[in-house]
Chains A and B, each alone.
Chain A
């Protein structure tokens, strides 16, 4: 039965080990892969490399000496302080909101879900302006704040507030779908077995959401440290006092201190890379615990 036609057919189909229904010709596959790689190189890998190249342009000594500067240290300290307040605040809020939304039915639930998303929807600059409007000198509570000698805008409290607002949704957004798919049966079981609310929360709810929670916290932290727009509006750019790392980078760059700017920027870049590695690790662990 080895007719010429059959031979031709078998040579066509036999060229690859096991053809798949979704496979395209080789030139299409290579072109698409090539375009994707080119895109990644130009828009992601090159800029990252450029940050480090610029930072080390004058040598390792110049790189490290830019961190010896008092203003740089102050900006790093302020960024850490901001994250240290904003992340735990949003952790508590995120769990509370996700718990309420996933486990209970109440009036106005969809409004609450929309409100949680608000910081993602508005431009960070607008987020900053909101706080200037409320707490600023000409704002609603401006006069009252001055009377009591409290400074919010152009001071650390404003920066913390703006950062908290912008990073508001990360933890809640991560937990809501997770808790919704898990349902409340395990909690109900714990309660019918005699556990109180606190025991149910710590022994049943938290272990079930811990990986999602960690994931949300990592993303929240990354954004809290890297936030520029909202913080820029409320900060006032006072050197050594109200400059966070991203603001400090901008100032140095505008002063043509490229090594200094890129050195601080490289710290932020390292933070981003560490975040991504952590995120991958958490996702991997999460998949593992689900699989077993």
Chain B
């Protein structure tokens, strides 16, 4: 089922959480709402779920064309998973998953045997068979998250909404679980929206990334699109590391390949800078190597421009570092493979 949100506004007293936000999620997609804390992404998710309502007179929420703006959460057919799982702590795993079926009115409630069958099916789906009798506190974080997912799926939702689904997990489990979620999504093809502040997570598993900042949507696109062609300085800085260089300094050094833009700033990814040994008179920005961080797949160099004394971060292959035989204090030339500029009127 597709989701459309149109010009949604939400204020909490004097604070504007959402300022005329539009969102379109096509059926069967896995979409990430990405943004820093306070950008309004969780509020948007809760409004889609019906746990929060948009301001009077602002836009609509539509599920597959049907207006659900005024429909209460329980009747929207939405599965919602909280960051801290919100498992019912006094119920067993079985009772947790069965809850949504057991609270139905008598006429719609499945028979006892049917409920048990469904719970076992869901436990199998999230690969946690045999945990029926346990309590939430006896499970690990990753297991709890999957139980929360199974519980949300029990009522056969048409849309799955996940609020920071991996936020409370440690780094290793996080990675495993997010890949698992991607495979899981490929299996069940349920329209899914998840909120995250971790750009790596969003870029890795989402079909489409919606980047939010200060109560607005900044950019929408596939992970590749938003990473390669950021629409604003904010997106550039939020998605991965970036150097902001003064175009004038680059032009003086003959290091900038493209035309100069009006605001005089050039955004360059650390891996788009080439390091060459310093030869007097050759093209390139002259810089002093201040620090080498080589504990990782790539070497990160921190350099200081001689002319402006500004810091530049560069990433090069480990083999290249060995080849250049660099050490701190060396003077090198920096050349840009590509950079990006924005017009003046963008505010960061």
Question: Given A188-B80, A207-B90, are A193 and B103 neighbors across the interface (CB < 8 Å)?
Answer: yes
Q: Complex: how many Å from CA A192 to CA B51?
A: 8
Q: What's the dominant secondary structure at chain B's contact region?
A: loop
Write out, one digit per residue, whether chain B residues 132-147 have a CB within 8 A of any chain A CB (1) or not (0): 0001011000000000
Residue of B72, B87, B89 with highest tally of chain A CB at under 10 A: B89
The reply to whether the CB of A196 lies closer than 8 angstroms to some CB of chain B is yes
- Docked-complex contact A292 and B137, CB < 8 angstroms: yes
A185-B86, A208-B90 in contact; A190/B99 too (CB < 8 A)? yes
Contact, CB under 8 Å: A189 / B137: no
Other-chain contact of A194, B75, B88, B89 (Cβ < 8 Å): B75
CB neighbors of A among B74-125 (8 A): 74-76, 78-80, 82, 84, 86-91, 99-100, 103-104
- Cβ of A191 within 8 Å of any chain B Cβ, yes or no, is yes
B331 at the interface (CB under 8 A from A): no
B284 to chain A, nearest CB (A): 55
Decide yes or no whether A257 CB sits under 8 A from chain B.
no
Assembled-state Cα–Cα distance A245/B25 (Å):
70
CB–CB A195/B82 < 8 A: no
CB of A69 within 8 A of chain B? no
Let me know if A199 is at the binding interface, CB within 8 A.
yes
Residue of A whose beta carbon sits closest to that of B75: A194
CA distance in complex: A188, B152 (Å)? 12
Given known A-B contacts A186-B88, A199-B103, A208-B89, A192 and B137 have beta carbons under 8 A apart: no
Q: Is the CB of A188 within 8 A of B51?
A: yes
Asked if residues A292 and B99 are in contact (CB atoms below 8 Å), the reply is: no
Residues from chain B with a CB closer than 8 A to the CB of A186 are 86-89
Who on chain A is nearest to B77 by CB? A194
Q: Is the CB of A92 closer than 8 A to any CB of chain B?
A: no
- Tell me if A193 and B155 are in contact (CB < 8 A): yes
Q: Which residues in B have their C-beta under 8 angstroms from that of A203?
A: 88, 99, 103
User: Is B151 touching A193 in the complex (CB atoms < 8 A)?
Assistant: yes
Contact call B74/A191, Cβ cutoff below 8 A:
yes
Q: Which residues 177-206 of A have a CB within 8 angstroms of B?
A: 185-186, 188-196, 199, 203-204
Q: How far is A122 from B138 in the complex, measured between Cα atoms in Å?
A: 46
* Contact call B103/A192, Cβ cutoff below 8 A: no
Interface residues of B in 9-64 (CB under 8 A from A): 49-51
Chain A CB within 10 A, most for which of B51, B86, B99: B86
A189 touches B90 (CB 8 A): no
A169 to B79, CA, bound (A): 39
Closest chain-B Cβ to A115's Cβ sits at a distance in Å of 23
Q: How far is the CA of A160 from the CA of B62 in the complex (A)?
A: 55
Output the nearest chain A residue to B79 by Cβ-Cβ distance: A192
Determine whether B321 belongs to the interface, using a CB cutoff of 8 Å to chain A: no
In the assembled complex, the CB of B36 is this many whole angstroms from the nearest CB of chain A, namely 22
Report Cα–Cα, A208/B135, bound state, in Å: 14
CB <8 Å contact, B103 and A190: yes
What is the CA–CA distance of A204 and B76 in the complex, to the nearest angstrom?
A: 21
Residue from B74, B91, B135, B138 within 8 A of A192 (CB atoms): B74
Q: Smallest Cβ distance from B48 to chain A, in angstroms? A: 11
B326 at the interface (CB under 8 A from A): no
Asked if A196 and B89 make an inter-chain contact with CB atoms under 8 angstroms apart, the answer reads: no
Instruction: Decide: A195 near B80, CB < 8 A? Known: A185-B86, A204-B88.
Output: no
Whether A189 pairs with B80 at a CB distance below 8 angstroms is: yes
Q: In the bound complex, what is the Cα–Cα distance between A292 and B80 (angstroms)?
A: 26
Among A190, A194, A207, A291, the one with the most B-chain Cβ atoms within 10 Å of its Cβ is: A194
Q: Which residues of A sit under 8 angstroms from B51, Cβ to Cβ?
A: 188, 191-192
Q: Does B126 contact A (CB under 8 A)?
A: no
A191 to B73, CA, bound (A): 7
A189 touches B135 (CB 8 A): no
Which residues on A sit within 8 Å (CB–CB) of B104? 194
Task: A196 to B5: give the CA distance in the assembly, Å.
Answer: 26
CA distance A204 to B151 in the complex (A): 15
Is there an interface contact between A185 and B99, defined as CB atoms closer than 8 Å? no
Alpha-carbon distance A203/B86, docked complex (angstroms): 14
A-side contacts of B91, CB under 8 Å: 207
CA distance A194 to B72 in the complex (A): 9
Is the Cβ of A192 less than 8 Å from the Cβ of B99?
no
Among A195, A207, A291, which residue has its beta carbon within 8 angstroms of that of B74? A195
- State whether B49 touches A192 (Cβ < 8 A): yes
Contacts of B76 on A, CB cut-off 8 Å?
192
Residue of B nearest to A200 (CB): B103
Distance in angstroms from B345 CB to nearest chain A CB is 38
Which A-B residue pairs are the 6 nearest by beta carbons?
A193-B100, A185-B86, A195-B103, A207-B90, A194-B74, A192-B80
The chain B residues found within 8 Å of chain A, CB to CB, are: 49-51, 72-76, 78-80, 82, 84, 86-91, 99-100, 103-104, 135, 137-138, 151-152, 154-155
Since A189-B82, A194-B100, A292-B137 are in contact, a sample of 13 more A-B pairs with Cβ atoms closer than 8 Å, ordered by chain A residue number, is A185-B86, A188-B51, A191-B73, A192-B74, A192-B78, A192-B80, A193-B99, A193-B155, A194-B155, A203-B88, A204-B88, A289-B90, A291-B137
Can you offer 25 A-B residue contacts whose CB atoms are under 8 A?
Answer: A186-B86, A186-B89, A188-B51, A188-B80, A189-B151, A190-B88, A192-B50, A192-B51, A192-B73, A192-B78, A192-B152, A193-B99, A193-B100, A193-B152, A193-B154, A193-B155, A194-B100, A194-B155, A195-B99, A196-B103, A203-B103, A207-B88, A207-B91, A208-B89, A292-B135
